[in-house]
A and B are shown apart, each in its own frame.
Chain A
Amino acid sequence: MDALLQQFFNFDIMMQASPIILRGFGMTLLLCLVVIPMGLLGGLAVALASLSPIRAVRWTTIVFVDLFRAIPPLALLIFVSAGLPFADIRISPFAAVCISFLLNNSAYYGEIYRSGIESIGSGQTDASRSTGLSATQTMAYVILPQAVRNVLPDLVSNTVEVVKLTSLASVVAFAELLYAADMARSVTYNASPITFAAVLYLIVLWPVVRLLSRLENKIEN
């Protein structure tokens, strides 16, 4: 029992590692602030493309979505960061993470938006168009606000997944939270920094997960 506490809950080691871990935590937050809005916007573009009246656009979108939902995000990240240099394109680990997350997240967020948009009856479009709003205005002011509200729990749930997936960036040596914690672990030969990192993830995500449960209950009622 004592060994377990020593190995996983060693407060002194956590304190020692805290500067590097907190810096990693900052990088994780930064990464989230970049990849989540990018994914939400990319997903919206994917959803709109998947509902395009032009068949070629719809089909291309289906291929895009299928492809990037089927490829494991870690494989995609390694492919982008290790593969692009062979095409003489040199990018930073941060850029590699952003690109692979954009591809993966756009596919997932896109499917969520699409199901939301499809949940809105055609009567809403009839009413909007009959008052002279254009197709674009109808989407922006009538359909999307309702669609987003209908799929808000799914959007939040996917966002929680994205936050957790940012730890993949450690594989390409981007110094985010898990990377920093693992560095500290290998230097101290002690797993307590990992525990520290897990607690930080928990502090950020637990309120969001709580909110999600409440949202889901609210929609069920």
Chain B
Amino acid sequence: MSYGKLEVLRGIDIDVMPSELVFVIGPSGSGKSTFLRCCNRLEEPATGEIIVDGTSITARGADLNAIRRRIGMVFQSFNLYPHLTAGGNVMLALRKVLGKPKAEARLIAEAALDRVGLADKIDNYPNQLSGGQQQRAAIARALALEPKIMLFDEPTSALDPELVGDVLNVMAELKKAGMTMVVVSHEMRFAKAAADRVIFMDGGVIVEQGAPADLFANPQHQRTRDFVRQVEH
């Protein structure tokens, strides 16, 4: 992955197992968001291969739109469509990508919003929702397509502290239900509680990875030690 001459990611080689929750941490500018955006090719990797659920998404002629609907993504700034209701946000891809009739799409949207605790907000517009509710609606929008994997790009960074818990609870529920997840975040407590594996990135490379207990308690590299000490204080 590179922007012009600036190489952002180098030698990233990881496997994510089904139902695994992989947590990616690292200082800003370390390439974690870029790594995540390569996973559904919102960014184009210059070289290398990315395989999701047995399908190479970097192959020439890969059907990106078909692949993407099986890779859910949640963004730092929610990116809900402001001109559509919460239900409309969830239903858009159901209608236009999967071609579901309106009534069926509505039922799926109700179920997805119910799953994130927003059943009663289906007809509310994003500007009538709190930040935490907006992010949960965005999670419902991705979930409704029944993705095989969910990518979270700093899902709680734009939230007021008191709203973070609701979003993390939804993510913990997803983990319990067996969803495969890659999470870029600074919520270290959540990482310790829910992650199967933590990856520490810096300068576009994976510095080290391991079970959260090991990586936080006993980091092997100096850069990891410095970062863990910083975020824990």
Which residues of A approach B to under 8 Å, CB–CB?
Answer: 123-124, 126-134, 137, 141-142, 145-146, 149
Which residue of chain B is the closest to A149 with respect to CB atoms? Answer: B83
14 CB-based A-B contacts, threshold 8 Å: A123-B75, A123-B79, A124-B79, A127-B80, A128-B92, A129-B42, A130-B71, A131-B93, A132-B65, A132-B93, A141-B92, A141-B96, A146-B81, A146-B82
Q: Are B73 and A130 interface neighbours, CB within 8 A?
A: yes
CA distance A46 to B138 in the complex (A): 33
Interface size (B, Cβ < 8 Å)? 25
B68 with A130: CB separation less than 8 A: yes
A-B contacts, CB under 8 A, total: 60
A194–B138 CA distance with the chains assembled, in angstroms: 59
Min CB distance A42 to B, Å, is 24
Contact at A137–B96, with CB atoms within 8 Å? yes
Inter-chain contact A126/B142, CB cutoff 8 Å: no
The answer to whether the Cβ of B77 comes within 8 Å of any Cβ in the partner chain is yes
For the A-B complex with A126-B42, A127-B75, A132-B66 known, give 11 more contacts whose Cβ atoms are closer than 8 Å: A124-B79, A126-B73, A126-B75, A127-B141, A128-B81, A129-B68, A130-B142, A131-B145, A132-B68, A133-B65, A146-B81
The A contact surface, by secondary structure, is helix
Determine if B79 and A133 form an interchain contact, defined as CB atoms under 8 angstroms apart. no
Q: How far is the CA of A128 from the CA of B72 in the complex (A)?
A: 11
- Name the A residues within 8 Å of B93 (CB-CB): 131-133
B40 at the interface (CB under 8 A from A): yes
Q: How far is B65's CA from A137's CA once the two chains are assembled, in angstroms?
A: 11
CA distance A204 to B66 in the complex (A): 50
Q: Are B69 and A132 in contact (CB under 8 A)?
A: yes
CA distance A130 to B80 in the complex (A): 12
> Given B40, B82, B96, which contacts A130 in the complex, CB threshold below 8 Å?
B40
Q: Looking across the interface, which residue of chain A has its beta carbon closest to that of B81? A: A142
Contacts of A132 in B (CB 8 A): 65-66, 68-69, 93, 97, 145
Measured in the bound complex, the distance between the Cα atoms of B77 and A124 in whole Å is: 10
Q: Are the C-beta atoms of A126 and B83 separated by less than 8 Å? A: no
B79 touches A126 (CB 8 A): yes
Known: A123-B77, A141-B96. Contact between A130 and B83, CB under 8 A? Answer: no
Neighbour of A131 across the interface among B68, B82, B83, CB < 8 A:
B68
CB <8 Å contact, B71 and A133: no
Cβ contacts B61-96/A at 8 Å (1 or 0 each): 000011011011101010111110000000011001
Q: Given A132-B65, A133-B92, are A127 and B97 also a contact pair (CB < 8 Å)?
A: no
Question: What are the residues of chain A within 8 A of B72 when measuring CB–CB?
Answer: 130
